[in-house]
Chain A
Amino acid sequence: GQNIDQPTEMTATEGAIVQINCTYQTSGFNGLFWYQQHAGEAPTFLSYNVLDGLEEKGRFSSFLSRSKGYSYLLLKELQMKDSASYLCAVRGGLSGGSYIPTFGRGTSLIVHP
């Protein structure tokens, strides 16, 4: 089975830095994804990690430690438009001929002025 944990909700101030954690226990591991979802809209892809370390993409960075089953998404210079839900998804082992990602429950981030 697969178990993915994220905090339910976080709040932060505009201009600050916030770190959203994701821990996972899966049978097999073949990559971890982060998606952003604004209320009532479709999720959009943010980042993908398969090797240990930090991947930086503008204001957003994602970190992975496979030995600890741990990832975080780091958002810098927060803007009001960053208020959204952030979904962690893990691609586990081969199942039915495919590597289907399993999603966590998402972290709702509220950015206030």
Chain B
Amino acid sequence: DGGITQSPKYLFRKEGQNVTLSCEQNLNHDAMYWYRQDPGQGLRLIYYSQIVNDFQKGDIAEGYSVSREKKESFPLTVTSAQKNPTAFYLCASSIMGGRTSGANVLTFGAGSRLTVL
């Protein structure tokens, strides 16, 4: 079955450490996204990518980095520069296509919960 796989599901980090969250999709989607979810805050966009080797900053990109070396993979690194990294991180993908009804309908992974000790 096609879908998005995020790992790890739970991650603990000490202050000052970088951590990388994995996101892999086999839906053949061009676009991939990373969102952060905090209680009462909804989903906030960190980074997105529409094509291999290209990505764009979202609303809260500071302290994060991404890469898109393969269409299927879009890993997120939470760096030590991120001051408040404890959150639930969601990866998503979608087809492209501008304003068509199918475009930007997001398929989400199960999420990764990061806790800073």
Residues of A within 8 A of B (CB): 8, 30-31, 33, 35, 40-45, 48, 50, 87, 89, 91, 96-106
Complex A-B: 9 CB contacts under 8 Å = A31-B101, A31-B104, A91-B99, A97-B50, A98-B104, A99-B98, A103-B35, A103-B43, A104-B42
In angstroms, Cα B48 to Cα A91, docked, is 15
Which residues of B line the A interface, CB within 8 A? Answer: 31, 33, 35, 40-45, 48, 50, 56, 58, 88, 90, 96, 98-99, 101, 103-111, 113
Which residues on the A side are within 8 Å of B41 (C-beta)?
105
Q: Which residues of B contact A35 (CB under 8 A)?
A: 106
Q: Are B31 and A98 in contact (CB under 8 A)?
A: yes
Chain B residue nearest to A91 in the complex (CB): B104
Q: Would you give the shortest CB distance from A55 to chain B, in whole angstroms?
A: 11
